[in-house]
Structures are given as structure tokens and as C-alpha cells.
């Protein structure tokens, strides 16, 4: 059974789940398992596979924890960017339901657990596009703080996710 620290991060990664493990750790473990198999099958070729230890992963591999997180934040911020300025009661309810369900189905177990905890402490705000995008930006910044990453200037959230940078670099 995996144990968790105060941030919901496992103290020992679940090595059976690539989504729960960063790619470098998972890849190293897979190479070691492959090497053992190769060694056992043919002792004369015990050095096989070493030349690929530093190669980059293929682009069509399953998402690791980092890529999953980046893709998830992209989806969530884009949802907030296109959210209505004057949402209906149904739209508000749908977003709240989405976050509730999403926090239970997210494929990284300890991320999902932390997500649910944060949602309890900081319920989603959905009364307007501005409110929702600001709430999500602050949510993302809390996660970044836990991971030791830089904070994003939430005053630029729509420039980043909806309108494009003012310098025209997204045009």
C-alpha cells in the first residue's frame, strides 16, 4: 500500500502506474526490468540496451504524470477561458458537477485526493468567466506552490488562455 505525505504525494511511487510516477523514474525502472530479462535470457548480451538509456521517449507513449498534469491544466484553463460571462444556473451546476466528478476520476490517485481536499477548502466559483478563471488560476498556483514551481500572475490569465499575448506572438 502506498503511503502519502501531507501534500497527498506518495512517499513511495506506485511503480505499477505510469500516470502516478514521473517518466524518468518509470523509464529507468522499465529499462532495469528489461535489462534483467535480457541478462537472464542471454548472459553473453548483458550490456544490451545501455546505449538507449539517455534517449528521449517517443511522442506516442502513454502520458506520464507531468504530461498528464500539463494537458489537464490546458483543458481546465481553456474551459474557464470560454466560460460564459453570464452563465445560466445549468452552466453553473454543470461546472460544479464536472469538478466534483473529475476530482474523483482523475487517473493520478494522490493528485485526485489533493484535488478533492482543495475543492472542499476552496469551492469552485462559477458566477462569471472572470470569477471562474481567477478561481482556477489561484487553484493552479496553490498546486504550483506545493510543487515548488513559480506562481502565475492571475491578472494575465485571459491573455494566456483566451486572447493571446498582447505582443501578438500567438497570432
pLDDT, one tens digit per residue, over 103-127 is 999 999 999 999 999 999 999 999 9
Other C-beta atoms closer than 10 Å to the C-beta of 3 total 7
**Average pLDDT of the residues in 45-70:** 72
Write the CATH number for 97. Answer: 1.20.120.310
**Residues 46-72: what's their mean pLDDT?**
75
* pLDDT range class, residue 171, cuts 50, 70, 90: confident
User: pLDDT exceeding 90 applies to what percent of the chain?
Assistant: 61
Residue 24 belongs to a domain: no
Those residues with Cβ within 8 angstroms of residue 29's Cβ, 6 or more apart along the chain or in another chain: 15, 21
Residue of 168, 169, 167, 144 lying closest to 69 (CA atoms) = 144
Of 124, 21, 128, nearest in space to 82 by CA = 128
**Mean per-residue pLDDT for 62-74?**
93
Q: How many Å apart are CA 139 and CA 128, to the nearest integer?
A: 16
Q: How much is the average pLDDT of 48-60? A: 63
Please state the domain count of the chain.
1
**Residue 59, pLDDT score:** 85
The string of DSSP letters for 33-62 reads HHHHHHHHH-GGGTTTTGGGTTPPPPTTSP
For residue 126, being part of any structural domain is answered with: yes
Kindly state whether residue 137 falls inside one of the protein's structural domains.
yes
Is 115 domain-assigned? yes
Q: Does residue 58 have a pLDDT over 90?
A: no
Give yes or no for a contact between 14 and 21, defined as CB atoms under 8 angstroms apart: yes
**Is residue 116 in a domain?**
yes
pTM of the complete model = 0.69
Identify the domain containing residue 111 by its residue range.
65-161
The C-alpha atoms of residue 45 and residue 171 are separated, in whole angstroms, by 53
Q: What is the pLDDT averaged over residues 76-80?
A: 97
Q: Which helix (H) or strand (E) holds 136?
A: helix 129-146
Q: What is the CA radius of gyration of the chain?
A: 20
- Any domain includes 120: yes
Task: Please report whether residue 40 resides in a domain.
Answer: no
- Three cell numbers, residue 35: 535489462
Amino acid at each position: 500500500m502506498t503511503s502519502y505525505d501531507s501534500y497527498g504525494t506518495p512517499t513511495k511511487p506506485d511503480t505499477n502506474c505510469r500516470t502516478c510516477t514521473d517518466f524518468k523514474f518509470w523509464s529507468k525502472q522499465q529499462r532495469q526490468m528489461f535489462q534483467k530479462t535480457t541478462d537472464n535470457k542471454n548472459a553473453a548480451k548483458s550490456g544490451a540496451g545501455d546505449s538507449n538509456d539517455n534517449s528521449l521517449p517517443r511522442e506516442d507513449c502513454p502520458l506520464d504524470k507531468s504530461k498528464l498534469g500539463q494537458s489537464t491544466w490546458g483543458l481546465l484553463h481553456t474551459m474557464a477561458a470560454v466560460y460564459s460571462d453570464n452563465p445560466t444556473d445549468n452552466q453553473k451546476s454543470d461546472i460544479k458537477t464536472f469538478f466534483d466528478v473529475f476530482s474523483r476520476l482523475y487517473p493520478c490517485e494522490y493528485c485526485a485526493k489533493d484535488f478533492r481536499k482543495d475543492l472542499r477548502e476552496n469551492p469552485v466559483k462559477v458566477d462569471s468567466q472572470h470569477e471562474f478563471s481567477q478561481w482556477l488560476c489561484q487553484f493552479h498556483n496553490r498546486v504550483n506552490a506545493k510543487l515548488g514551481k513559480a506562481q502565475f500572475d492571475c491578472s494575465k490569465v485571459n491573455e494566456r488562455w483566451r486572447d493571446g499575448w498582447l505582443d501578438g506572438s500567438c497570432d
